[in-house]
Structure 1
Amino acid sequence: MEALDLARWQFGIITVYHFIFVPLTIGLSPLVAVMQTLWYKTGNERWLRLTKFFGKLLLINFAIGVATGIVQEFQFGMNWSEYSRFVGDIFGAPLAMEALAAFFIESTFLGLWIFGWDKLPKKLHLAMIWLVAFGTNLSAFFILAANSWMQHPVGAIFNAETGRAEMVDIGAVLSNPTLMTTFPHVITSALLTAGTFIVGISAWWMVKDVRAGRKDRAIDVYRPAMVLGLIVTLAAGVGVAISGDLQAKMMFEQQPMKMAAAEALCESADGASFSILAIGDLSDSCEGVSHVIEIPGLTSWMATGDWNAPITGVEDLQAQFTEKFGEGQNYVPPLAVTYWSFRLMIGMGVGSAALAAAALWLTRKGQVVDKRWFSTLALIAIPTPFLGAAFGWIFTEIGRQPWAVVPNPTGVDQVWMLTSQGVSTVVGPWSVILSMTSFTVLYAVLAVFWYKLMTRYAAEGVADSEPDVSPDNTDASGDRPLSFAY
């Protein structure tokens, strides 16, 4: 394999692995802050116990996420040095903002929150976790600003003397219309992930407690936690649908090839249908593909809001791109990956929906249940939004191929780059093989530790009691174990 193929595999493996942890951190941090706020407002120890319980899970996930995310930025200067040379002036700015502002905010205040339970007044300590939540979401904003610029470059010019793209308007980069639709979609999907996570764990424990004769704890602790998770899951689910629709319409304008490939729409059509299942050879040539199960007009509606709107197919788009950017290049992304990742992204929402529907019905009117199938459903549903977010990320990145920086159809002349042009000219295949193998093995080990820690502390459940050790409590003891130290 060539260095280009290996570098793409390495970046794909690391990015998808890292993104497993991202949605939970983004979504769970404000929900832990909400739990602590409820304790601060009501004084009910239940919410303190839940804060500590889900706070531990947040910390484990945060730590692994940070460790796996740092590697990505090193790749830009090594495997993808030509990419960095060409667009580093623009792409590096939001990444620097993320590191210098957002990451320092979340890491600094997370430390104060971990070790400040018995040292900071309640109100000030509560502010720490809210600042962590703000920092994680701000971090997502800056990273998405960089990625959105790759999807739709703005605020830049091409300098013919240096042969590089240069930023002329940071405001345009941070207000990119692509970013304005991508950011709410990512945040709502993160909240959906965290909400499902809380509902799943709480439902599993509720069933376990009822079956073990601890119905009072199920009613007092796990049902309220499940209700909070349900509220977030339902609201976030609506947000994902609305923001996803807006994002799809913008993609059809900015990256028509990506969305045509997502539908495996080979030929242009008026009132294009949305296929549930396509068969045939989903190769880049788009030959022999037939749609077996279709919803008439849905693709046209997703693109424009008009059920009868004309949609340009893959073959016509290939001809247009060839005329504009030159022959000898296949401008069609891998159809099989794009087509199925788009459907799996949407389909994985069934897990959260099924869990929410079952929980709403079974626990109506203040009930708690002991149905074993419900606890099984809760565990099965937990990973589905994680997978949905991962498939969404795969679709976003694979669908823009063969571009590293997609041409802006409305301007920004010559600020675009093929993926094949961005790979390093000096890093050879064996160097990439060595680093890719090392990181894959290391990440596999980290995955085992992450899974063991998450299941261990989730299986311990909420503590039976959690003393208020804050300085505001005059009865608090000065000695306590570091419950958040690992």
Structure 2
Amino acid sequence: MDALDVARWQFGVTTVYHFLFVPLTIGLSVLVAILQTMWHRTGNERYLKLTKFYGKLFLINFAMGVVTGIVQEFQFGMNWSDYSRFVGDIFGAPLAIEALVAFFLESTFIGLWIFGWDRLPKRAHLASIWAAAIGTNLSAYFILAANSFMQNPVGYRINPDSGRAELTDFPAVLTNKVALITFPHTLAGSFLVAGSLVVAVGLWHVIRNRDSADTGAYRFATKFGSWVVLVASAAVLFTGDIQGKIMTDVQPMKMAAAEGLYTTESPASFSVLTIGSLDGSREVFALKIPYLLSYLGTGDPNGTVQGINDLQAQYATQYGAGSYTPIIPVTYWSFRFMIAFGMAAGAIALLVLWSQRKGRTPSSRWLLRAGLAMPVLPLLANSFGWIFTEMGRQPWIVFGEMLTRNGVSRSVSLAEVLTSFTAFTLIYATLAVIEVKLLLRYAKAGVPDVSEEHPIDDTHDDAERPLAFAY
């Protein structure tokens, strides 16, 4: 074990942990805005209760996401300084815009939304949560644009004197075809997570508190969340299909590694289960669906999909001696876990809707247990998706331009990286316990009583009224 190995583990652990909060924040910001819009349009108190209820869960998650996300950018300078020097001219631009525009838009209007209850005019207050949701999604886009450059470098040139990558076409970076499909795919996955949380909390209250005066609100939340999950599941499949074709085009080794495809095939079969040799050089046994991989990778059932061994020989000739093959068991299984966990959440959502058909009230303990597992399933799907995305790119930190081993900080020792890795892991573990306890506490508390609240009269001056902190 050396500093490179530990630096990779540290970045992997902190990034996956941070991304546990990101999809829930992205999806829940929009769902809360939709619920408040429904209250604004109808005046139905049920939607106001749900807005404040899920809004509180959104704020808890948002705060944790901010805290854990700060570490990510510091790691580039601490453990990956050679990478930062090489790609900083390009990577820094979208990250700077994300911080200066998207994050400030997001945080400013979240503040207005928190303190503006019964203080701002209803339309202005509604606009603030929509502005915060837009900022959250813009923030995601700029970060994904930066990551997409690592997957498919565009809009740059290599300075022969400094050896650094220099930005030549910023619009090309923002319109990278990898970013254009990764963004909607990530959004779909985020709504899958957020919808699952809405279902889980609503279903728990429907089954455990059947005689509650707010049962109608919880039943609506359960149905609303289930439909969000189903629509998001369809969007994940659609965008994932496009993403697979783009991946085959720009990173053929990643597609081959995802399928455990060792030799080039035309047509290529989709591997349901593949067992390979210990050195990952050949296939021993496989259970396959004919023609499916060709269609997924090229759009043509008879299309050609390059194999791992052929691509390894090609890259060795193109880039020099060495291994250009990722860890096949990691890419193969993370790809399948991503699909399986996402599909499981969609299946449970169907069961939840079926249990409430024709006004019925769900009562099964097994359904409750499945519903409570729902938020975890898409979170795991998102995490395995990112593990696949980043591990499938290896050994490149910038595909075709810089190897991961060349991006690590040469001045940082193994002991120093181990110290920071241990410290961050312990801190994040503590934050995880706090996050779960807070979410469970406020989820169990149920929707708030809003009967004594009096929204501001838009026609009168209320400048002397103090700010109201709603949470």
Deviation at 1:481, TM superposition (A): 7.7
Q: Distance in 1 between matches of 2:81 and 2:451?
A: 51
Correspondence for 2:385 among 387, 392, 407:
392
The equivalent of 2:273 in structure 1 is 277
2:214 to 198, 212, 217: 217
2:402 paired with 1:423? no
Query: Aligned AA for 1:203?
Result: L
2:226–2:350: 8 Å Cα contact kept in structure 1? Answer: no
Aligned to 2:351: 358
Residue 399 of structure 2 corresponds to residue 403 of structure 1: no
**CA deviation vs aligned residue, 1:216-271 (integer Å, no higher than 9, x gap):** 532x2111112221221121111111100000000000000001000011111122
Check whether the contact 1:117–1:469 (CA below 8 A) recurs between aligned residues. Answer: no
Q: Distance in 2 between matches of 1:185 and 1:330?
A: 30
Q: In the alignment, which of 290, 298, 305 is matched to residue 304 of structure 1?
A: 298
> Contact 2:15–2:72 at 8 Å: present in 1 too?
yes
C-alpha distance after superposition, 1:7-33 (max 9, x if no partner): 101100100000111100000001000
Q: Provide the residue aligned with 1:411 in structure 2.
A: none
- Which structure 1 segments of 5+ residues have no match? 408-415
Task: Say what the alpha-carbon RMSD is for the aligned residues.
Answer: 1.8
Find the partner of 1:290 among 265, 269, 285: 285
Contact 1:351-1:380 within 8 A present in 2 as well: no
- Which of 442, 447, 451 is the matching residue for 2:427? 442
Q: In structure 1, the residue corresponding to 2:157 is in which secondary structure?
A: strand
Separation (CA, whole Å) in 2 of partners of 1:228 and 1:466: 23
Paired with 1:479 and 1:148, the residues of 2 have a C-alpha distance of 46
Could you say if the C-alpha distance between residues 466 and 106 of structure 1 is closer, same or farther in structure 2, counting changes exceeding 3 Å? farther
CA distance in structure 2 between the partners assigned to 1:28 and 1:282 by the alignment: 43
**How many residues are paired up?**
468
The question of whether the paired residues in 1 share the 8 Å contact of 2:115 and 2:470 is answered with: no
Amino acid at match of 2:398: V
Decide which of 438, 453, 463 is 2:438's aligned counterpart.
453
Q: 1:20 to 1:335 in 2, by over 3 A?
A: same
C-alpha distance in 1, partners of 2:470/2:125?
16
Q: Deviations over 1:133-160 (max 9, x none)?
A: 0010000000000000110011100110
- Residues 195-227 of structure 1: CA distance to partner in whole angstroms, max 9, x if unpaired? 1111121112111122xx33x532x21111122
Whether contact under 8 Å (1:48, 1:466) holds in the other structure is: no
Mapped pair 1:106 → 2:99: no
Alignment match, 1:36: 36
1:134 aligns with 2:134: yes
The answer as to 2:228 corresponding to 1:232 is yes
When residues 267 and 382 of structure 1 are mapped into structure 2, their CA distance, relative to the original with a 3 A threshold, is same
Provide the secondary structure at the position in 2 that maps to 1:276.
strand
Per-residue CA deviation, residues 374-431 of structure 1 (Å, 9 max, x unaligned), is 2111102221001000100000000000000012xxxxxxxx1000110111111111
The 1:466–1:188 alpha-carbon spacing in structure 2 relative to 1, beyond 3 Å, is farther
SS state of the match for residue 456, structure 2? coil
Could you tell me how far 1:479 is from its partner in structure 2? 8.8
| Structure-1 separation of matches of 2:384 and 2:46 | 36
The aligned residue for residue 257 of structure 2 is: 261
2: CA distance, partners of 1:289 / 1:302 = 23
2:122 aligned residue: 122
CA–CA separation in structure 1 for the residues paired with 2:424 and 2:100: 25
- Give the deviation of 1:367 after TM superposition: 2.4
1:198-217 aligned within 5 A? 198-210=198-210, 213-214=211-212, 217=214
Residues 207 and 369, structure 1, Cα contact 8 Å, conserved in 2: yes
SS at match of 2:158: strand
> How far did residue 438 of structure 1 move?
0.4
Unpaired runs of 5+ residues, structure 2, are none
Aligned partner of 1:46 in structure 2 is: 46
Evaluate the alpha carbon distance shift between residue 131 and residue 225 of structure 1 in structure 2; reply closer, same or farther with a 3 A threshold: same
TM-score of the two chains, using structure 2 as the length reference: 0.96
Q: Secondary structure at the match of 1:312?
A: coil
- CA gap 1:443/1:310 in 2 versus in 1, 3 angstroms: same
1:56-104: per-residue Cα shift (whole Å, max 9, x none)?
1101101111101110101111110000101100011000000000011
In structure 2, C-alpha distance between the alignment counterparts of 1:217 and 1:397, rounded to whole Å: 44
Contact 1:49 1:466 in 2 (8 A): no
8 Å contact kept, 2:116–2:469: no
**1:318 is matched with which residue?**
312
Q: Larger deviation: 358-367 or 39-48?
A: 358-367
- Looking at structure 2, the residues matched to 359 and 254 of structure 1 have their Cα atoms a distance apart, in angstroms, of 40
Partner of 1:266, secondary structure, is coil
Decide which of 241, 246, 251 is 1:245's aligned counterpart.
241
Q: CA deviation at 1:457?
A: 0.6
CA contact (8 A) 1:195 1:229 kept: yes
Q: Distance in 1 between the 2:466 and 2:71 partners?
A: 39
What is the Cα deviation at residue 358 of structure 1?
A: 0.8
Alpha-carbon separation, structure 1, partners of 2:220 and 2:372? 18
Contact 1:282 1:336 in 2 (8 A): no
Q: Is it true that 1:368 corresponds to 2:361 in the alignment? A: yes
- Helix, strand or coil: the match of 1:310? coil
Bigger Cα displacement from structure 2, 302-311 vs 180-189: 302-311
Of residues 241-250 and 298-307 in structure 1, the stretch that sits farther from structure 2 once superposed is 298-307
CA 480–310 in structure 1, closer or farther in 2 if over 3 Å, else same:
closer
Q: CA deviation at 1:366?
A: 2.6
Matches within 5 A, 1:17-166: 17-166=17-166
Are 2:268 and 2:304, in contact at CA under 8 Å, matched by a contact in 1? yes
Quote the Cα distance in structure 1 between the aligned partners of 2:468 and 2:162: 59
Q: Distance in 1 between matches of 2:335 and 2:367?
A: 29
Which letter maps to 1:301?
A: Y
